Amino acid sequence: MARAPYLATAFAALALAGWMVRTASLPLDPPPVPPPQETLSHDAALARIGAWQEAEAGAILPLARSVWRDGAGPAQRTAVLLHGFTNSPHQFQEIVPEVHAAGCAVLAPRLPRHGVAGDDGSGLRDLTAGELLRFAREVAAVARGLGGSQTVAGFSVGGTLAAWMAQHEPLDHAVVIAPALGVFRLGVRANRWGARIASALPDWFIRLENPVKAMDPVHHYPGTSLRGFSEVLRIGAALLEEARSQPPRARRITLILNANDAMVDNATAALLADRWQSNGAVVVTHEFKKDLGLTHDMIDPLQPDARTDLVNPVLVDAIAAGCAPQRN
């Protein structure tokens, strides 16, 4: 009888393992692709940005709100900057003024369910792939309305959205930075399994160990949701499948990777670039060398090991390519 608890535990473990294997073997449903949104007029685009900012005024942390830097009238080029998971537009606090000074209008919108005052990141459990893709469509429509050509740059989860927009929107340039198409160098198949299991389990809130994000949040969350992040992996998996046979709509794409990045799967990003190129796309890849010791979040200057002196010139050159100084 003394062995009964151990047998029960072993049986439960085997049952759980069997459930996980069965669940992982099920297909990862691709999120529905929302239709493109109608291009806004310049005035309507400005009004939409104003509506975002008005809605954020009470509920969103002040430093986490959407950022807009315009020029004199319609822009020759608009640069859209999409931040990473749990962070906010303030992540680009050093990039925004440099790109704007180069002559671009700059829009850094807040991703859905990010930057909410009083939230520790657990609210991300309700984030869905569909919500993110509708957001991407809306941002694209606003950027077109602002005038000129559009560059969309995104980091990590923002990089996943920038890659999706490169596939689906007629951008002039997409700058895809360390995209979260997969995690932990696990490869395409293992990441699909993980996303499928995470979507079926109760949510798991993960408190981040990063000392910057673990402090009282000023522009980011100190924790994250595994279920919410699995929705991002659904977008990445669907994008990889689309890229097998369909060329991206972006005129050119720059992929920027960090060889020292242990958080995302660079091999999956390289596979996406290969598929794009096989379908005739123009893709340029830049990789920061491993011996630079860069962390995954190589953009936020508040990171303890930030080397924005090395990273920013590369990012600004890519994002601001084609910008023209504003004339008064």
For residue range 229-242, what is the model confidence (pLDDT) as tens digits? 889 989 999 999 99
Q: What mean pLDDT do residues 122-126 have?
A: 91
Q: Cβ neighbours of residue 225 under 8 Å, at least 6 residues apart?
A: 121, 122, 123, 124, 125, 127, 203, 204, 205, 206
Using CA of residue 298, residue 302, residue 307, residue 313, what is the dihedral sign?
positive
Q: What mean pLDDT do residues 94-118 have?
A: 94
Looking only at the bridges linking them, the beta strands covering 149-155 and 205-207 are unpaired
Give the pLDDT of residue 235: 94
Q: Identify the weakest region by mean pLDDT among 19-23, 93-97, 119-123, 156-160.
A: 19-23
Specify burial of residue 27 (Cβ count, 10 A radius: 0-12, 13-18, 19+): exposed
Asked whether residue 328 is domain-assigned, the answer is no
pLDDT for 41-75, tens place per residue? 999 999 999 999 999 998 999 999 999 998 666 77
- Which of 243, 98, 102 is CA-nearest to residue 179? 243
Give the pLDDT of residue 17: 43
Asked whether residue 277 is domain-assigned, the answer is yes
Domain residue limits at 288: 4-319
Other CB atoms closer than 10 Å to residue 35's CB: what's the count? 8
Q: What mean pLDDT do residues 280-294 have?
A: 96
pLDDT for 143-152, tens place per residue? 999 988 999 9
8 Å CB contact between 111 and 135? yes
pLDDT at 314 over 90: yes
CATH number at residue 202: 3.40.50.1820
Asked whether residue 296 is domain-assigned, the answer is yes
Give the pLDDT of residue 322: 77
Euclidean distance between the first and the last CA atom of the chain, given in angstroms as a whole number: 87
Tokens of 248: 């991206």
Asked whether residue 324 is domain-assigned, the answer is no
pLDDT for 184-197, tens place per residue? 777 777 777 777 77
Give the pLDDT of residue 16: 37
Asked whether residue 268 is domain-assigned, the answer is yes
User: Which of 16-25, 123-132, 182-191 has maximum average pLDDT?
Assistant: 123-132
Asked whether residue 314 is domain-assigned, the answer is yes
Quote the number of domains for the chain: 1
pLDDT at 35 over 90: yes
> How many Å apart are CA 286 and CA 173, to the nearest integer?
15
What is the chain's mean pLDDT, rounded? 86
Asked whether residue 325 is domain-assigned, the answer is no
> How many Å apart are CA 251 and CA 149, to the nearest integer?
11
Asked whether residue 143 is domain-assigned, the answer is yes
Using CA of residue 211, residue 187, residue 155, residue 318, what is the dihedral sign?
positive
